[in-house]
């Protein structure tokens, strides 16, 4: 039996007490503790960053000499340095050019906690999730430094295995992780932690993401 949905579980309460904007911050925190994807002084791109919980964790890890850029379709309340935020489509051609000219690309880490607008139909939602993950993967390969890390959320099911194989072709190390904060919700989401992009791998063609977007203010699930 799936666990009943509790919008104010222990992770929600812990986030509130610690001044974090979303319980999802603890997912990145766990990934960081296990795999050290964020380094002092590093540059980080956070896709689908609203409401800013992952930016907070990333900023803490990279420190004052680092840089964190959060991108979302919805405005994000201001964050202190070293974080900046942009209101932008994470997958527009214009954004890629802007990242290179103004966004301090290339990055040591690209993070994506993007999720589609859910339809309630599992097969459709899984496909949309993979679409977003594929686009995030393609962008990461354009802007990551050699030796960089890519963390992306994916819902299990559908073509997950094919996407996992694509990630393994693109990175030397790929791990499938289910953080405790995801388990607590009974969620089917997992995170792929991809490190050390392979040289000479062409970015996969990004699929159509019409109808898909970040979770915005509700992203902290």
Give the pLDDT confidence score for residue 7 in this predicted structure.
62
Q: Which residues are catalytic?
A: 153
Q: Is the pLDDT of residue 214 over 70?
A: no
pLDDT above 70 as % of the chain: 88
8 A C-beta contact, residue 125 and residue 157: no
Q: Is the pLDDT of residue 71 over 70?
A: yes
pLDDT confidence bin for 101, thresholds 50/70/90? very high
Identify the structural domains of the chain with CATH numbers, from first to last.
10-188 (3.40.50.150)
Q: Which two tokens stand for residue 187?
A: 């969620």
Determine the Cα–Cα distance for residues 10 and 129; give it in Å rounded to an integer: 26
Q: Which two tokens stand for residue 179?
A: 């953080």
> Which of the listed ranges 13-17, 75-79, 158-162, 207-211 does the model predict with the highest average pLDDT?
75-79
Mean pLDDT of 82-106: 96
For residue 181, the cross-strand partners are none
8 A C-beta contact, residue 148 and residue 107: yes
Q: What is the mean pLDDT of the chain?
A: 88
Residue among 49, 103, 19 nearest 217 (CA): 49
| φ and ψ at residue 122, rounded to 5 degrees | -55, -45
- Output 90-97 pairs: Cβ under 8 A, ≥24 positions apart: 90/47, 90/48, 90/114, 90/135, 90/136, 90/139, 90/214, 91/135, 91/139, 91/206, 91/209, 95/71, 96/139, 96/142, 96/143
- Inter-axis angle of helices 25-35 and 53-62, nearest 10: 30
């Amino acid at each position: 039996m799936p666990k009943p949905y509790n919008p104010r579980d222990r992770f929600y309460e812990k986030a509130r007490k610690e001044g974090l904007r979303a319980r999802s911050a603890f997912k990145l925190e766990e990934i960081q503790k296990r795999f050290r994807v964020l380094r002092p002084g590093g540059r980080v791109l956070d896709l689908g960053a609203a409401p800013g919980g992952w930016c907070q964790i990333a900023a803490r890890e990279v420190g004052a000499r680092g840089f964190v850029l959060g991108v979302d379709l919805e405005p994000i309340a201001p964050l202190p340095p070293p974080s900046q935020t942009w209101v932008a489509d994470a997958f527009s051609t214009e954004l890629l050019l802007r990242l290179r000219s103004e966004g301090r690309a290339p990055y040591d880490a690209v993070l994506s906690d993007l999720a589609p607008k859910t339809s309630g139909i599992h097969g459709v939602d899984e496909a949309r999730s993979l679409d977003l993950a594929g686009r995030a993967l393609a962008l990461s390969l354009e802007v990551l430094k050699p030796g960089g890390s890519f963390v992306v959320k994916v819902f299990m099911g559908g073509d997950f295995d094919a996407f996992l194989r694509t990630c393994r072709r693109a990175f030397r190390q790929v791990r499938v992780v289910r953080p405790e904060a995801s388990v607590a919700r009974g969620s089917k989401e997992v995170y792929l932690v991809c490190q050390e992009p392979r040289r000479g791998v062409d970015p996969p063609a990004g699929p159509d993401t019409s109808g898909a977007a970040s979770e915005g203010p509700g992203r902290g699930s």
